Amino acid sequence: MAAKDDLGRTGEELARRWLERRGCTVLDRNWRCRTGEIDLVAQDGDDLVVVEVKTRRSLRTGHPAEAVTPRKLARLRLLAGLWLAEHEVRAAGLRVDVVAVWLPRGGPARIDHRQGVA
């Protein structure tokens, strides 16, 4: 399980850097409550962005973004409301993004950022 956790942390760190290079401000990481977890919460201009990060070493089981189901997206929308209720952040809009990270052995990381998936 530790290897999987390390892979996930690596993917989240790469996703954080990716978002920041594109002008987003990361407000929170791995925020948890009884309902679930948000990998990253960011601000992009006036919008709050809830980010689900999926990281894989191989595409053998499919693209990492394919693991984000409609049920997961609905939960992320719910979690976004709970996060906002606990934080003094004003946002004009709310967006759910998926950052898919592929870390092939011996090759460079590949990032696929899908904005506004829900």
* 81-97: average pLDDT: 95
The residues facing 47 across adjacent strands are 44, 93
**Rounded distance, CA 81 to CA 69, Å?**
19
Q: What's the whole-model pTM score? A: 0.93
Cβ-contact 31, 37 below 8 angstroms? yes
**Ranges 39-43, 58-62, 67-71: which has the least confidence:** 58-62
CATH fold of 2-114: Trna Endonuclease; Chain: A, domain 1 (3.40.1350)
